[in-house]
Chains A and B, each alone.
Chain A
Amino acid sequence: MVVAMGKKGRDGRLFQSEGSLSKVMTDEECRKFLSNRFPGRKDQVDDLLCILGEPTDIFPPVLVYGSPATGKTSIVREVLSLLGRPHAYVSCRSCHSPRLIFESVLNQILGHVRSRENNYSSARKCDKLTDFVTHMVGACKDSGKLSEKTIYLVFDNVELIRDWAASGTIMSSLLKLSDLTRLPNLGLIFVSSAGPDSFQLATASREPVPVFFRDYSNEELYQILTMRQPNSELYSFFLKSSLAPFSRASRKLTELAEGLHPLFLKYCEPLLSGKVVLNDQGKRELYKYVKGYIQPALGQSFSISEPEKSRPPSTDQELKSLCSSRPVGAKSGIGFQLSLCSKYLLLAAYIASRNPSTLDDSLFGSGDGVKAKRRRRSSVSSMDKEEALTQEKHLKGPSLCSLERLLAIFQCIAADSHLVSEKSEDFQSSCAEASERRMRDVTSNVLIELVSLSSVNLVIRSSSSPLEGLPKFRANVDGDFIHKVARSINFPLDKYLLHG
C-alpha cells in the first residue's frame, strides 16, 4: 500500500492519451477519492482541482511547494491520471540537465519509448531551448494534440534547477513556455520543496500561482501511519505510546515510518511468542514493555542516563544496527586502503589543522619533546575565558594550515615514529639515514600523495588566491576516523593533540 510515498518507482510512466484509462473520474469523485486516500490534504486537492478546471481550461503556471514527504508529487500525478488528463511528468532529479528534460518531455508527448530497438535514443534530439520550443510545437501538432484539450507538463523537484548553470534562463523559459511556443493549451505545473521566495527569478519571468502543501499535523501523521499498516488496530495502539516522542524529534513522514518500524517489531515480539494476549490488560503490559525501548531508539536525544548498557547485549546490537544510519564499514575499520605515506600525511594535516601553530615549537622543537610548556596564569577568570575560547575553537573544527607547516609536521612525525618503531633493531643508523633521505625527496613523491588525498577529499585544499601564495590545506576527517588511522600504524596521536 503506497500512501504518501508514491514517488518511488513510478518515474517514466508514459504520456497517457485520452481514453487510455479505463475509467475517468469526474471532479467530485476524484475529490472524494483523494481526500480519503490522502488524509489532511482536502484543501490542497480542492485547490488543485479548481485550478485545473475542465479538460479544455487553461491556467497560469502553478508552483506546488511544501516540505519533502508531504504528498506533493503523488497528489498532482494522481489528480491528473484520475481525471484522465494527458500529461507528461519529468523529475529534475533524474533528468539532471536541460537536454534530458527537453527530450523526456518530447518523448512522452510523442509516445516514444526508448528501447533496445531504437538504441535507447530519444524521439528528438535537442540540446538547446530553441530546439525544444520548435520541436514542442511540432510534437503537439504531430500527435494531434493541438486540439482544444490542455496538455499538462509536470516538472518535479524544480528546486534543483537553481544549482544548474544558467538556472535563471531555464526556469523563466519554462514558466513562459506557453508564450514562447504560442501554444495556449499548455498547463504547466511545477513541484518544488522550496517556496516561491527562494527562486530568484530574473526579470524575464512570470510569477507562478502558489499552492502550498503544509506539514502534516500529529493527528494526520497518526492516520497516515496507521493506514499504511496491515494490522492497523494494533499499530494504532503502538502509535499512541510511541508517536509523540518520535515526532518531537522529526516530523518527516518517511523518517518516522523508518524509525518506528524496528520499534514496532519489538512491540510485536511478546505477542508473537504468546506471552501477552491482546486485551486491555495486555495492551497495558505492551505499553510498559515498549516504553523502555523508546528512549534508546531515539538515540538518547532527550535523556541523560545511558540505558543501553543495562540492556542485554543482543538487543543492544540489534537496535543499534537498525537505528544506525552510518555505513557498517565505518565501524569496523577505515574501510579502505591508504598508503603509509598518505596516512602520515593525513595525520600531519589533522594535527596541523587542530593545533594552533604556536604550539608547534613545543611539540616538535628540539629538546623539549612532547611536553608543552606551562605558563602561569594570572587568575581563575582569565583561565575560564581561555578555556572557553579554546573550547569554541575546537567546536569550530579544523582550521587552515599552510603547505610548509603541513610538510614540516609530516617530516617530524614520520622521522619520530621511525625512530620509535625500529629502536630495538640494530639498523638505527641506516634507518636514520633512510629517514634523512626521505626528508630530502619529500617534495616529489609526498606532494603527489597530498594531491591524491585532496582529490578524494580527505584533505581539502582551499581556493588560493594568487596574492596569498601557496595553497592552504585542512584535514577533512572526523576524530573517530583519524584515531582509527593512527591505531592502524601504531601512531601515538593523542600525544600530539592539544585537546584529545
Chain B
Amino acid sequence: MVGTTIFSERISVNRVQVNEAVTLLRRRLCGGLNQPLEQLSLLPDAEVNRKQLHDLLTHTIVNAYNNSALLLGPRGCGKSLVLERVLADLQSTYPGRFSTVRLCGLLHADETCALKEIAKQLCMENDLSYSKAASFSENLQFFTAMLKECALSDKALVFILEEFDLFAQRPKQCLLYNLLDAMQSTTSQIAVVGVSARLDADQLLEKRVRSRFSHRKFLFLPPSVQDAIRLLHDVLTLPTDSSFQHKQYALAFNLHTKKLLEKETLKNLISKFMEVDLSPQSVLDLGFRALCGINRDTGLLTEANFKKACLLQRPKPKLETLKGLSVLELYLLVVMNRLEGQNRDVYNFNTIFYEYERLCGLHTTCDRYSRQAFEHLLERELIDYAERFTTIEYTPVKMLISSQELKDGLNANSLCPTILHQWFAHENFK
C-alpha cells in the first residue's frame, strides 16, 4: 500500500486498482472500433457530421429515399467511428428495418470478390444458404433480386465501402457503377456510404459513375490542439460511476490528470508533437505510450511519462542508425559526402574506396572489411543503388541522408575521430 497525496488528502492506492484502471484506459485508447461505442466522446466537427449522416440514413430507411455519401478525411480522424456510431444508433431505433453490407477496399476491390462477399453477407442476414461455387453472373442476379425483395418488404440496404479510393482505382469501376446504378431505380431502397482517407476520392470516379453519385461529402478534419488535448483528457478520465469500483482512486486520478493536462509545459509538448501529425489517433497513441510507462505504485500519470512517450513515438531512425555505425562506415560516408561536394553525381564503391585511400594516404588493395562496411551501409539503408548492374564495386550508389543529417550523426556518434569532423567540415582538408 502506497499513499498518494493530492490536496493534502491521503488516498491509498494498491496495485490491483492501478492495474484495473490501466486495463480500462488501454481498452479505450487502442480499442478503436472494437469497443463499446458510447464511451468515446466525439470532436465538435465529428458531432456535426454524425447528426447529418444520421439524418441522411434515416431518410433512406424511413422514406425509402436512395442516398449516397462520402466520408473523407485523414487517417485516424474518426470517420469509421462516426459511421459505426450512427449505425448502432439506427439499429436500436429501427431494428430490422435495414441491413448493412460491409466491404473493404483492401479486401474486396476486385468485383468478383466483392459480389461474393455481398451475396455472402446478404445470405447471412436473411438466413439463406450461401454457395461458394456460385459464379459471378449468378451472384449478380442474386444481388439484383435481393435489392428488389428488400425494397418490396420495405427493408433498406446500407452499403459501406471502406477504403473507397481503392474501389475507385479499379479499371472500369464496375462495382461502383452497379451499386450507384441500382440506386437510380425506384424499385430499390439503398444507401451507399464510402469512407476514404483520400480527400480527392470523388475526383477518381469515372464520368458515368460520378453522374450517379449524389456528391454528398462529409469532411473530417484534424482537430485543433485544444480539441485534441480535450479529447486526450476525456479518454484518460476514469469513470466514477458503477463501472469502475474504486471511486476514490478514480477521483484522485482524474483530478491529477486534469491538472497535468492543464500545465503549460505539457500543452507545449503536445502541440509540438502534433506539428508532425495532427490526427487524433496519433495523440491517442501518445497517450497509450505515456500510460504504458505509468508508475504502478503511485498510479498517476506524470509529465515525465509524456516526455518519454514523445521521444519514443517520434524516433529519428536515421540519426539513431548513424549513432551505431563503426568508424570505418563513418569514413566511407564522409568520403561519399565529399564526393557529392565535388559535384560528382555518380560514384561507386571503387570511386569511394579510391578517394578514401587518397585521403588516408594508404595504398592497399580493396579489402574485405571495407566491402563489408559498404554492404552494412546498404543494409542499413543509408545508401542505395542508383541503378542495378554488374558487380557490387561498380554499381553506382547514392546517399539517402543529407549532409546535415550526417553532420548531426557525426556529432552524436561517440566513436567518431576528430579528423573525420575536419574532413567533413573542410572540403579541401586532407
Contacts and interface: CB of A to CB of B under 8 A. Distances in A.
Contacts of B26: 53, 57-59
Interface in A36-72: 47, 50-51, 53-54, 56-60, 65, 67-68
Interface stretch (B48-56, B150-158, B360-368): B360-368
Nearest to A57: B26
Contacts of A460: 389-390
B376 A250 contact: yes
Interface string A133-145: 1000000000000
Interface in B273-288: 277, 281-282, 285, 288
A476 B395 CA distance: 11
Interface in B19-52: 19, 22-23, 26-27, 30-35
Contacts of B277: 207
Interface in A372-414: 391-392, 395-398
B80 to A, nearest CB: 8
5 contacts: A128-B113, A195-B315, A197-B318, A205-B75, A397-B391
B369 A206 contact: no
A477 B392 CA distance: 11
Given A67-B380, A304-B363, A476 B391 contact: yes
A138 B141 CA distance: 28
Given A462-B389, A476-B390, A251 B354 contact: no
A129 to B, nearest CB: 6
A58 B350 contact: no
A25 B76 CA distance: 36
A68 B321 CA distance: 11
Given A301-B364, A323-B368, 20 more contacts: A51-B292, A54-B19, A59-B30, A60-B285, A129-B107, A130-B107, A195-B317, A195-B318, A198-B381, A203-B198, A206-B76, A207-B277, A207-B285, A212-B320, A215-B321, A249-B327, A298-B369, A304-B362, A397-B391, A476-B389
A114 B289 CA distance: 39
B183 interface: no
Interface string A186-207: 0000000111111000011111
B326 A248 contact: yes
B4 interface: no
A397 B394 contact: yes
Contacts of A180: 104, 106-107
Contact of B350 (A203, A214, A395): A395
B312 to A, nearest CB: 7
B102 to A, nearest CB: 9
Contact of A178 (B32, B76, B105, B381): B32
Contacts of B292: 47, 50-51, 53
B117 interface: yes
A184 B36 CA distance: 11
A397 B240 CA distance: 73
A72 to B, nearest CB: 13
B364 A251 contact: no
Nearest to B363: A304
A432 B33 CA distance: 84
A304 B198 CA distance: 59
Interface string A474-490: 10111000000000000
A63 B314 CA distance: 13
B198 A184 contact: no
Interface in A315-357: 323-325
A85 interface: no
B313 interface: yes
Given A173-B107, A397-B348, A209 B285 contact: yes
B243 to A, nearest CB: 17
A51 B315 CA distance: 17
Interface of A: 47, 50-51, 53-54, 56-60, 65, 67-68, 128-130, 133, 169, 172-173, 176, 178-180, 182-184, 193-198, 203-207, 209-212, 214-218, 247-252, 255, 298-304, 323-325, 391-392, 395-398, 460, 462, 474, 476-478
Given A299-B367, A460-B389, A478-B391, A196 B35 contact: no
B288 A59 contact: yes
A474 B388 CA distance: 13
A250 B389 contact: no
Contacts of A218: 415
With most chain A CB atoms within 10 A of its CB, the pick from B33, B35, B344, B369 is B369
Interface string B109-128: 00001000100000000000
Contacts of A462: 389
A255 B372 contact: yes
B134 interface: no
Nearest to A58: B30
B34 A397 contact: no
Nearest to B288: A60
B165 A203 contact: yes
A250 B362 contact: no
A324 B372 CA distance: 12
Nearest to A215: B324
Interface string B381-398: 100000001110111100
A277 B32 CA distance: 67
B325 interface: yes
B100 to A, nearest CB: 13
Contacts of B338: none
Contacts of A248: 326-328, 415
Nearest to B365: A300
B163 interface: yes
B163 A249 contact: no
Contacts of A211: 312
Given A180-B106, A215-B323, A249 B354 contact: no
A65 B320 CA distance: 11
B49 to A, nearest CB: 20
B166 interface: yes
Contacts of B313: 209-210
B317 A249 contact: no
A91 to B, nearest CB: 17
A179 B32 contact: yes
B255 interface: no
Nearest to A169: B106
B346 interface: yes
A56 B196 CA distance: 31
B311 to A, nearest CB: 10
A198 B105 CA distance: 24
A129 B394 CA distance: 40
Contacts of B323: 214-215
Closest 4 CB pairs of A and B: A215-B324, A397-B394, A195-B317, A184-B34
A303 to B, nearest CB: 8
B179 interface: no
A302 B163 CA distance: 56
B326 A247 contact: yes
A68 B390 contact: no
Contacts of B315: 195-196, 210, 212
B379 interface: yes
A53 B313 CA distance: 18
A159 to B, nearest CB: 9
B31 A184 contact: yes
B164 to A, nearest CB: 10
B35 to A, nearest CB: 7
B219 interface: no
Given A130-B117, A178-B32, A214 B312 contact: no
B372 A249 contact: yes
Contacts of A130: 107-108, 113, 117
Interface in B292-320: 292-293, 312-313, 315, 317-318, 320
